[in-house]
Structure 1
Amino acid sequence: MKPLKKVLLFLLVCLLIFAAILTYNYFNFESKQISVEKAEKVAIDPGAIHRFSKALQIKTVSPENLADFDSLEFKKFNDFMKSSYPLMDSLLIKKQFNDFSHLFLWKGTDTSLKPIILMAHLDVVPVIEKNLPEWKSPPFAGVIKNDTIWGRGAIDDKVGVIAISEAVEWLLKNNYRPKRDIYLAFGHDEEIGGPRGATAIASYLKDQGVEAEFIMDEGGVIANGLVPGVSKDVALIGTAEKGFLSLNFSVKIEGGHSSMPGKETAIDVLASAISKIKKNPLPTKFTVPLEGFIDYLGPEMPFANKLIFANKGILKPIILSAFEKSPSSSAMIRTTTAPTIFNSGVKDNIIPQRANATVNFRILPETTIQDVLDHVTKVINDDRVKIEKSSTMNEASNLSSTDSYGFQLINRTIKELYPEVFTSPNLVVGATDSRHFKLLSPNIYRFSPIHLNEDTKKSFHGLNERLAVSDFNNGIQFYINLLKNSN
């Protein structure tokens, strides 16, 4: 046999083996979706949606400038909780932190069981005044129309506070008693990092020796049309969240008159540094949440996608390349780099001596703040650029298992209420109050039982925040089922 024919035969054999491996993996890529009996729904109190409306009317805004903090509005919310949920207020052990954050303890009957902690936050982000004409309903009116409730906090995150409270109040009215202790932790300053709310609550629980079976906070949602290649809604359960870091950069170089500029100005040097950072981001990589996302949703996808995901070990470069194509999916595979502030100069004919910039990084799990700092320093490679860490930073969270009691409980409860929905672990790219609770349990999950689509996902922290009334009612049902199932 001629050498060329031998080479071609060898290549053909290799191709056949490769195709056989792909095919074998495809047919062994089995669904992880569970099948459970659909839960019978309870009758939700019609007054619940009106209490939610009242909650949205209270302007519990966390301002960036603490001098603008309106304590009277937060006091109103305290009074609202006391009057709206009298059984929860009187029968549960309650404690307040820094006046406005709440911790409730519902004692269980079996002290051998570890407690669970349900979290939410009652504060909201400000509404930009110049955008008010673009709101279809006033942001603090709590208007209910066309099966939709409108207002700041409808999604982020008064829905969590109110749905949990409604569920607990319903269970108390029906003489339910949990086997395990249930903690309800409602922070009042999540939107500015939770320094006086969640941080204080977590510190107290740690001092009390609390070790939770699992913790659940906001973060994941039921995504409608947001997962490419999946035709059904997907309940995304956050098993980890990214860390964050802002680096401040400064350059000081002799200035002068603009008619006689030097070779480089402070602006030139700093602009070059920022450009280098943007052009050389931290590398893409697979994370454990992404692996879980692929394992849970890959088997439910069309042939081509399923084939690729079934062979993720072999076709990793193809998957990473595909994820890089959109900002939302790219955030799942890399530590992101976002220049957010650049300041220099005071007059058009004066070359400034100083230039300052800030770059925000959202850090992948298993990447550290020091990793980011080392990478940036190496990429810039210029001693004239001074780099300082901002005062607010947080490492990426630990990874929570999909094999734990907590994940399986949340997964099953979702399926009882939404049997047609796919479920999947997911990486939360924003920050939640749950990061302050990491010493209380290795099993922290982030999920809110509400639907978001391409339109409504832009509304929280943005214009026309709103939620379907049916979603709110189903949210109450979800927490009722979750607490019952925890027995």
Structure 2
Amino acid sequence: MKKIFLGILIVLLLFVGFILVKTLTFSSNQLQVDPIEKIEIPDLAIQHLQEALRLKTISFENESDFDSMAFEAFNLLLSRNYPLIDSLLDHEVFSEYSHLYKWQGSNASLKPIVLMGHIDVVPIASPDKWTVDPFAGEIKDGKIWGRGTIDDKFSVIGILEATEMLLTDGFQPKRTVYLSFGHDEEIGGDKGAVLIAEYLTQQGIEAEFVLDEGYAITQKLIPGIEPDAALIGIAEKGSTTIEFTVDMEGGHSSQPAKETAIDVLSNAMAKLKANPLTPTLSEPMQGFMDQLGPEMGFVNKMAFANRSIFKGMIISTYENASGAGNALVRTTTSPTIFEAGIKENVIPTYARAVVNFRIIPGQTADNVMGHVVSVIDDERVKPKFYGFNTNPSAVSPIDNDGYGFINKTIKQVFANTLTAPNLVIAATDSRHFTEVSGNIYRFVPYHINENNINTFHGIDEHIPVEDYKDAIRFYRQLIINSNQ
């Protein structure tokens, strides 16, 4: 018995020792770069963003609501405010309002880079709840307010200002620089980014990297991380929508059957809610843990260093955290439409529900369909794919020049900021550029915290003036770094 106990004790000590060794050798992977001196940003650059925010370039689901005059005004703004870009760069226009600029590099052997943004914004649901007029472009309390300050005129104008500034200085890139600005990202990008990407593919363009909107610099939003942490999206989730319908006999509400179409479909939705798809730690999440785990306290560091042992605990923590935390480790299930009935005393013969699934890398739309059929297990419920559907993007590497340029630039412009890859849980125009480059990254250079995180597509969208100035510095330095 003593030998058995001693054997168990030895195994336990070896196990604990293994965990401790892995934890203690889980050292920092952060790039060490000296910050650069901040260049002066002219007030005119701020005025240009304000001008852009005043144009109601809204994307509506209903095409009849489209305001062509706002987008035409944006076209004029581009040529008026950026005369060197307008005169020196090649310019292609797609569907009248999407733009692709080409800044020819001096070395044809170097792959080009693509910097992206989108001109359109989402509608305003409750303008009366805003602190300021959402289309006034007003500066208040050191911040620029308005729809598009975060998503995504901030990027578009920031890229343009940086490029115009470099042209003014006589900078000549070695590698070609493309500036891609779609006008319909918020409704899928079919008339903008899709056509731009097809054009680049037809031209045989293979880019060193593509940079689009995505994550930002988080401030005290990541548990266990005190410094600012910039998250660079190296993949984005897929999206598939499934429509569920039930057809059954109806009747008068005074003589209800044991089950109605509403009962059957409600039960199906309850099954989906109770049986989500299997969670996992995707490759982007593994990269996130590799980069930020060593910067955390001992307990978190130990868990991330020994994730094969603590995987269940890590996943459970994310599942029980915020909605965003849960979305990082699983394909999410979101019922968005439920329809049935025409009158209060008539039992409906038909019920319909629409459910959106955001798919984690490693799973597909077909996996989702197989899952829902198995879980619901009721032939009366008819599922079919509905609307726009796409699988998760490929995962871009972090050990190449493209990621390195972005990582270095963040460190130079935003001193003492940690960096890490991660999974973007929303969709961006960059998903259309997979034939243009295998190195697609999603990052916007502004700070996001508890004060502004809910203004994205919401009320009181705003950005600090200093963040906007730093964004111009970031894009300028990124172009320089990509050409050294």
TM-score class normalised by the smaller sequence: over 0.9
Deviation per CA, 1:290-339: give whole Å up to 9, x if none. Answer: 00000000000011111111111111111111111121111111000011
**Which residue does the alignment assign to 2:202?**
207
Partners in 2 of 1:447 and 1:199 — Cα distance? 20
Which of residues 120, 128, 145 is equivalent to 1:123?
Answer: 120
Q: How does 1:165-204 map to 2 (within 5 A)?
A: 165-204=160-199
Instruction: Please state how far the C-alpha of 1:419 moved relative to its aligned partner.
Output: 2.4
**Which residue does the alignment assign to 1:7?**
4
Conserved 8 A contact 1:221-1:449: yes
> With structure 1 as the length reference, what TM-score do the two structures score?
0.98
Give the aligned residue type for 2:231: L
Partners in 2 of 1:170 and 1:441 — Cα distance? 27
Partners in 1 of 2:347 and 2:271 — Cα distance? 23
Which of residues 38, 56, 78 is equivalent to 1:59?
Answer: 56
**Which residue does the alignment assign to 1:461?**
457
Instruction: Please state how far the C-alpha of 1:207 moved relative to its aligned partner.
Output: 0.5
Answering whether residue 85 of structure 2 is matched by residue 91 of structure 1, we say no
Which of residues 245, 253, 262 is equivalent to 2:248?
Answer: 253
Which of residues 137, 145, 149 is equivalent to 2:140?
Answer: 145
Partners in 2 of 1:68 and 1:7 — Cα distance? 77
**Which residue does the alignment assign to 2:301?**
306
Give the aligned residue type for 1:378: S
* Secondary structure at 1:154 match in 2: coil
**Which residue does the alignment assign to 1:480?**
476
* Secondary structure at 2:309 match in 1: coil
Give the aligned residue type for 2:192: G
Deviation per CA, 1:257-279: give whole Å up to 9, x if none. Answer: 11111110000000011111111
Instruction: Please state how far the C-alpha of 1:146 moved relative to its aligned partner.
Output: 1.7
Give the aligned residue type for 1:472: Y
Conserved 8 A contact 1:250-1:355: yes
**Which residue does the alignment assign to 2:407?**
411
Conserved 8 A contact 1:117-1:184: yes
Answering whether residue 331 of structure 2 is matched by residue 325 of structure 1, we say no
Give the aligned residue type for 1:357: A
* Secondary structure at 2:378 match in 1: coil
* Secondary structure at 1:392 match in 2: coil
Partners in 2 of 1:377 and 1:412 — Cα distance? 47
**Which residue does the alignment assign to 1:31?**
28
* Segments ≥4 residues shifted beyond 3 Å: none
Conserved 8 A contact 1:342-1:358: yes
**Which residue does the alignment assign to 2:45?**
48
* Secondary structure at 2:342 match in 1: coil
Which of residues 103, 106, 115 is equivalent to 1:106?
Answer: 103
Deviation per CA, 1:126-155: give whole Å up to 9, x if none. Answer: 001xx2221000000000122100000000
* Secondary structure at 1:337 match in 2: strand
**Which residue does the alignment assign to 2:154?**
159
Instruction: Please state how far the C-alpha of 1:391 moved relative to its aligned partner.
Output: 2.3
Identical columns (%): 50
Conserved 8 A contact 1:56-1:151: yes
Partners in 2 of 1:39 and 1:367 — Cα distance? 42
Partners in 2 of 1:34 and 1:28 — Cα distance? 17
**Which residue does the alignment assign to 1:284?**
279
Deviation per CA, 1:416-475: give whole Å up to 9, x if none. Answer: 011211100010000000000011111000000001112211102100000000000000
* Secondary structure at 1:219 match in 2: strand
Partners in 1 of 2:152 and 2:383 — Cα distance? 35
* Secondary structure at 1:449 match in 2: strand
* Secondary structure at 1:218 match in 2: strand
Partners in 2 of 1:15 and 1:274 — Cα distance? 45
Instruction: Please state how far the C-alpha of 1:9 moved relative to its aligned partner.
Output: 2.0
Which of residues 256, 263, 273 is equivalent to 2:258?
Answer: 263
Partners in 2 of 1:195 and 1:256 — Cα distance? 44
Partners in 1 of 2:415 and 2:41 — Cα distance? 20
**Which residue does the alignment assign to 1:350?**
346
Conserved 8 A contact 1:35-1:419: no
Partners in 1 of 2:53 and 2:404 — Cα distance? 32
Which of residues 427, 443, 446 is equivalent to 1:447?
Answer: 443
> With structure 2 as the length reference, what TM-score do the two structures score?
0.99
Partners in 1 of 2:383 and 2:35 — Cα distance? 55
RMSD (CA atoms): 0.8
* Secondary structure at 2:101 match in 1: strand
Give the aligned residue type for 2:6: L
Q: How does 1:330-409 map to 2 (within 5 A)?
A: 330-409=326-405
Partners in 1 of 2:269 and 2:229 — Cα distance? 37
Contiguous gaps of at least 5 residues in structure 2: none
Deviation per CA, 1:354-403: give whole Å up to 9, x if none. Answer: 00000010000121110111111111111111111112111110000010
Give the aligned residue type for 1:350: V
Partners in 2 of 1:123 and 1:133 — Cα distance? 21
Partners in 2 of 1:388 and 1:45 — Cα distance? 54
